[in-house]
Structure 1
């Protein structure tokens, strides 16, 4: 992206091949810092799309970026679904699962979302940085044990997963951030199907959407 000299826009590229890296972590730290300084007079506009989980890595200390990446790779390699991957990512992150909205409070947050997850569950798209959610320890444990990965977890990851989630208990005006956040899906598989069907009808065809929720191994579905 070419910007004019003295532009107020800052571009940080990272997460090549959809994997979190040092550049993406630097960007996440700067975004967290910016959000933390906002006041009730500010508006934080967030554009969210698929790939956001890799672009906004902020591992919960003492987890390192490499340790979080290793856990994610192991899950993906074992066949975990995007829902399962994002459940684990949220549990290991400062900014996912509503963390970005938390740090931005009391500013107004508006998130415009391009969904890459079937059904458009807001808490799973890019791991939901503006959607307050909390994964229960039992749910995380079931996922890790299902893929036989629990015993190979780094000590730091075990430590973080063993803690109660303190984010919503900390005193940040003791307020619920949900009233300050507006999440809007502006593009999704369902939207694309509707538009494709409309165009097909205009061309004289009779479109039939068999299902907006087809998923699984492409060799079989």
Structure 2
């Protein structure tokens, strides 16, 4: 398999696709393409990117091609077993699916006002009311997941899985922009930040030399 991703410092969707691939336990080749670099417009026209119209992440598995991080995760879950990603308990699995779907389709203001930037620490003085409400919503979801289904470990549903994969970039954003969170959320964020795979991603992001100026001036 071959997974094409964007800059590790900035690309939240690439992080989700990469974590999903790591969670599969399958071997894959990782190819990082700097987004918005001098060759980006040419690169995204190439055959490898054609199915996704130049979007990352994109997974090639032989002749099979899957783009969009949620589709990549579901494809891999079909290959290796869905229990590797989703809770076994029916109620927990239903909630995890709903949380992943909401993360996939929502939080536009938060994404816009708090672009992912792993390397930076830029406390926000002004966050719009809409973005603040989205932060509160996420914290409420985290609290409910942890309270109802998180007793078996430090992650949202106890063990690391699909919901953590999809909320990992939110953890990064909260750390970058100094978002104040309650103690239970701090513990959860620490568990994500110290996960071996996240540590690998963070180290690689810090070593990248590419800079996208529009994401440096939030």
Fold agreement, TM-score > 0.5: no
How does the TM-score come out when normalised to structure 2? Answer: 0.30
How does the TM-score come out when normalised to structure 1? Answer: 0.29
Larger radius of gyration: 1
Q: Which structure is richer in relative contact order (CA contacts within 8 A, separation 6 or more)?
A: 2
Kindly indicate which of the two structures has a greater share of residues assigned to helix. 2
